[in-house]
Amino acid sequence: MHDNMLALLSGDLSPSARIWTALAPALFAVAYFLVGLVLFCIRCAIKGIPRDEETLTRGKSVLVGFFLRHYFFWVIQPLWRVLLRSGLPANALSMLSGLLGVSSGVAVAAGRFALGGWLFLLAGVLDVMDGRVARTRKEANPAGAALDSVLDRYVDSAILMGLAWYYRDTWVLLPALGALMGSSLVPYVRAKGEGLGVSVRDGAMQRLERVLFLGVGTALSPILEALFWPTEKHPMHWLAVAGLVFVAVLSNVTALARFRTLVRALTPKKPVKQRSGVALFGFNAAAGAIATAVDFVAVLGMVEWGGISPVWATVAGCVLGGVVNYSINRVITFRSQGAVAPQLARYTLVSATSALLNAGGVALLTLHPQLAYTLGWWLVRGVVYFAWNLPLQRDYVFNDNSDELLEQRPHAA
């Protein structure tokens, strides 16, 4: 018994012990929630779905809809009642959730994925409970809400930092850092929106989803490792990797979607009806493709049939392609009526800075030889296009109000 306890604490476990330490809590949880699901469905068939009012105010997501959310809060009612009757303050539950969450990060950093995953899931359950306990007892206050919110950020960061430390010598470090960034931005954009009077709660990867996918993936990952790679001293824990990559991608997608919603809600509405964002992107991309084709054909013709130097042919092709791109965007994409000369000046400025940004971005990414330069090229092109070219062409180059603003500026004496 003593040796088994030491092995459990140190992590020096046999393959079968590694499986059971990860699987035993899972079997108990699965049995509890499956029985609860059957009873919940029977209850719904007889009396209808028991709606949780707080769940309705928080909204749903694509991954976890209202039915699953109502079911989850119904099935954990016994635990909630125990905590409510225990008399523990809500802030104590928040602190306990924070301690367990930070401990989960320490555990996964040391390679104890089963322990870390289950601690993280338990911290998530307690985080659900503390606010409800406070509101039921009518003890909810801004100080408790601030404590709970800040501790949530510590919990999310702790497990992701632990995973980043464990995977520090592998490619998985990148999605771990990406998940850390996305998990921080999702609640930040929401809080910023609430501060500006805009409710931003949409998105597929909210905190419940992050806890679920990251926690379950981490907790159960030792099972696969013990079955297929039992001799690995530093196993990859592929199930945890899958959950981490999933959270990294969707949390950043959710943050960007919320950011876009927030900016759109705060942007003053223009009286002139413009094309939709999808239409603008389509026409703008088509203009770029046509201009590139014209550039290529012109260079090919000048070099092959005109006998012109490739260098000068490239310069002439760039100018011709720019004129074609400008003309299509002015007439078709943005349907601008502004003066041509100021627009050309603005277009030239945006194009020149775009070239510098693309060149600089590719140069930076080539500092990382493990990243294929072709992938880096496309990545930089995409980021510069969506972050610089398209918005500036829409709001600066072909915005007819730009000329009016310039005319309204006071001239120097």
pLDDT higher at 288 or 387: 387
Residue 30 pLDDT class (50, 70, 90 cuts) = low
220 close to 227: Cβ distance less than 8 angstroms: no
Q: Which residue has tokens 């926690």?
A: 215
Q: Of 23-37, 178-192, 383-397, which has the strongest mean pLDDT?
A: 178-192
Nearest in space to 116 (alpha carbons), one of 28, 193, 211, 194 = 211
Residue 411 pLDDT class (50, 70, 90 cuts) = very low
- Please work out, in degrees rounded to the nearest 5, the angle formed at the alpha carbon of residue 260 by the alpha carbons of 257 and 266: 140
Residue 4 pLDDT class (50, 70, 90 cuts) = low
Residue 231 pLDDT class (50, 70, 90 cuts) = confident
The parent domain of residue 106 ranges over 1-266
Local structure of 396: helix, strand or coil? helix
C-alpha pair distances (Å), 153 with each of 144, 156, 178: 15, 5, 15
23-32, 151-160, 349-358, 367-376: segment of lowest average pLDDT = 23-32
The yes-or-no verdict on residue 16 having pLDDT over 70 is: no
Residues 330 and 343 in one domain: no
Average pLDDT score over the chain: 79
The yes-or-no verdict on residue 270 having pLDDT over 70 is: no
The yes-or-no verdict on residue 106 having pLDDT over 80 is: yes
The yes-or-no verdict on residue 412 having pLDDT over 90 is: no
Residues 363 and 250 in one domain: no
Residues 12 and 108 in one domain: yes
Residues 259 and 231 in one domain: yes
Domain CATH for 134: 1.20.120.1760
Residues 260 and 398 in one domain: no
Q: What percent of the chain has pLDDT over 70?
A: 81
The yes-or-no verdict on residue 109 having pLDDT over 80 is: yes
Residue 60 has what pLDDT? 56
Residue 410 pLDDT class (50, 70, 90 cuts) = very low
Residues 117 and 223 in one domain: yes
Among residues 244, 266, 288, the one where a domain terminates is 266
The yes-or-no verdict on residue 326 having pLDDT over 90 is: no
Residues 138 and 208 in one domain: yes
Residue 333 pLDDT class (50, 70, 90 cuts) = confident
Distance in angstroms (rounded) separating the CA atoms of residues 225 and 218: 12
Mean pLDDT for 240-267 is 90
Residue 315 has what pLDDT? 66
Residues 239 and 325 in one domain: no
221 close to 183: Cβ distance less than 8 angstroms: no
Residues 330 and 204 in one domain: no
In tens, the pLDDT along 143-186 reads 888 888 889 899 999 999 999 999 999 999 999 999 999 999 99
Mean pLDDT for 264-273 is 70
pLDDT higher at 4 or 287: 287
Mean pLDDT for 264-271 is 75
Count of domains for the chain: 3
105-109, 320-324, 359-363, 399-403: segment of lowest average pLDDT = 399-403
Own/partner pairs, 138-141, CB within 8 angstroms, 24+ separation: 139/89, 139/90, 140/90
Residue 274 has what pLDDT? 59
128 close to 76: Cβ distance less than 8 angstroms: yes
Distance in angstroms (rounded) separating the CA atoms of residues 317 and 314: 5
Among residues 334, 355, 384, the one where a domain terminates is 334
Structure tokens at 173: 């470090």
Residue 21 has what pLDDT? 61
Residue 23 has what pLDDT? 62
Mean pLDDT for 117-135 is 85
Mean pLDDT for 358-382 is 78
Structure tokens at 235: 């196993």
Residues 199 and 297 in one domain: no
Among residues 266, 300, 326, the one where a domain terminates is 266
pLDDT higher at 187 or 356: 187
CB burial readout 374-385, b (16+ within 10 A) else e: eebeeebbeebb
Residues 315 and 365 in one domain: no
pLDDT higher at 307 or 101: 101
In tens, the pLDDT along 187-204 reads 999 888 888 888 887 777
In tens, the pLDDT along 35-63 reads 777 877 887 878 777 766 665 555 556 55
Residues 407 and 283 in one domain: no
